Structure 1
Amino acid sequence: MNRLITAGLALCLSLCALTAQAGEAEVRKGVDSIMSMPGAIQELNKLPYGNFYEVLLKNGQILYVDASGKFFFSGNLIDIAKKEDVTARRENDRSKINISELPLNQAIKQVRGNGKRTLVTFEDANCGYCKKLAKDMKDLKDATIYTFMIAILAPDSETKARNIWCSADKAKAWNDWMVDGKEPPASAKCEDPIAKNMDLASRYNIHGTPTIYLADGNRAGGGYLPLAKLEEALARVEKAKK
């Protein structure tokens, strides 16, 4: 009897594994046909409810596809019982970073006051909201700001970033341009981190600017935040530390 039970369990596990593999295969096939390109999926996870898979694309987008690979939807999945936005939580978890692991030598560093609060931003020199943020942060007190320059908005974004980085005073050149509109002069060539910053942004699924991170590794909102909201976010992190 025990042998029969053991054999039955083994058969059940094998069939379950084959079913899961078949479901994944259908999902991949369906998504590839939708995206008109193979290999669009970065990560595939079977959800613990319904007969759906969470599909993370290489461009950072999250889709939900049924096990047959015939139906999908793009949007936020809500857990009604928990009153939780499952998609938003997953996106936040995926976008969280460890500040201590960042190559901060690739960022422009600015210290305001005692510098005890930390902000990390990813910005493009041609980003209008980044310029608005730079003007706001002139009045930010007691903070250290690390700005990773990336080039995603215009053909000359990389040139401007390189000229700023190669300036004698990077922080001044950045603020001269972003705050005062004084374009950085063509600087002598130097080894710049722009390409590395682009790779870093891709790793953390950063597709827009400004992207702002707090000291706890969480993103502060979905883009530009006015100074008052930024102060609130910084205060929450400081309070959590205590």
Structure 2
Amino acid sequence: MAIALASLRRLLSVVLLMAAVLPAWADEAAIRKNLAERLPDLPKVDEVAKTPIPGLFEVRIGTDLFYTDEQGQYLIAGQMIETKTRTNLTEARIAKLTAIDFASLPLKDAIVWKQGSGARKLVVFADPNCGYCKKFEQELQKVKDVTVYTFLYPILGGDSPEKSRNIWCAKDNTKAWREWMVDGKAPGRAMGQCDTAALQRNAELGRKHRVNGTPALVFEDGRRVSGALPPEQVEKQLVASVRKAG
């Protein structure tokens, strides 16, 4: 009798486990199937995950997030905010998805300038013809004790690739970059042989991390920000990233 009861308990445990797991599989399968059938122009879904809200699922496509019900009948684009702590869960999730391992970045391919001790580090993807990049570069002069690594990333068309080459191939490319971005002095035309392979690697790096606009910032803790930040916000994030890294 004791053996029979033990076997029954084990069987019951397996049944309960299957009951807990199978609905999740069924939900994901239904979501993928229905979204693909009903929204054929929707890119392939990379991941389906539960959210803190019962019956609501996160649908991830690349680094874009959507929300749906368990049957994929509705698709919601928007922000999910946890009201008790006022945490933007969507923003936090995207920050995690888009984070870049700072240590993996090929800093040798960047233009480097330092202010003060240079103890803190910041990476910037920038196009030389980007107005927001110029303004950001000028505002960065107010931030102390930072080393800035700029990956030339000419994605705006026009003469951006030529300007990038002229700056990269200048005798002092840091000086050429800052004179153009801060003072508006155009770089001289690059003459003779110059290894521009770094510019191609920068383009590949940007595509790899889906950098679709400039400026794009990367802090030491991996946090990535699209667009320019005012100096006080840069300072705040530099402090936070150093704390995390430490």
TM-score by length of 1: 0.82
Letter in 2 for 1:77: M
Q: Which residue does the alignment assign to 1:26?
A: 30
Gap change, CA 1:237 and 1:81, over 3 Å in 2: closer
| Residue of structure 1 equivalent to 2:109 | 106
Given candidates 191, 196, 205, the residue that maps to 1:200 is 205
Q: 1:210 aligns with which of 215, 219, 230?
A: 215
How far off its partner does 1:130 sit? 0.4
Task: Map Cα deviations across residues 12-49 of structure 1 (whole Å, 9 max, x no partner).
Answer: 4335444322322222234444360552x233322243
Cα distance in structure 2, aligned partners of 1:158 and 1:121: 17
Q: How does 1:1-242 map to 2 (within 5 A)?
A: 1-32=5-36, 33-34=38-39, 36-39=41-44, 41-58=45-62, 60-187=63-190, 188-219=193-224, 222-237=226-241
Relative to structure 2, which stretch is displaced further, 69-78 or 227-236? 227-236
Q: Secondary structure at the match of 1:114?
A: coil
- For 1:12 and 1:240, locate their aligned partners in 2 and report how far apart those are by CA, in whole Å: 41
Aligned sequence identity (%): 34
Distance 1:163 1:30 in 2: 52
- Residues 1:42 and 1:175: Cα distance change in structure 2 (over 3 Å): farther
Mean CA deviation greater in 28-37 or 111-120: 28-37
Mark the CA change 1:154 to 1:44 in structure 2 (over 3 Å): closer, same or farther: farther
- AA paired with 1:89? A
Q: Tell me how many residue pairs correspond in the alignment.
A: 239
In structure 1, the gaps of 5 or more residues are none
SS in 2 for 1:49: coil
Partner of 2:183, secondary structure, is: coil
Distance, in Å, in 1 between the alignment partners of 2:43 and 2:144 is: 49
The residue type paired with residue 226 of structure 1 is: P
Q: What letter corresponds to residue 55 of structure 1 in structure 2?
A: V
Unaligned stretches of 5+ residues in structure 2: none
Q: Which moved more, 1:206-215 or 1:128-137?
A: 206-215
What letter is aligned with 1:224?
A
The normalised TM-score by structure 2 is: 0.81
Structure 1 residues 241, 198: CA separation in 2 closer, same or farther (over 3 Å shift)?
Answer: closer
Structure 1 Cα separation of the partners of residues 47 and 173 of structure 2? 38
The residue type paired with residue 113 of structure 1 is G
Q: Are 1:166 and 1:192, in contact at CA under 8 Å, matched by a contact in 2?
A: no
Which of 1 and 2 has greater Rg? 2
Moved over 6 A (4+): 239-242
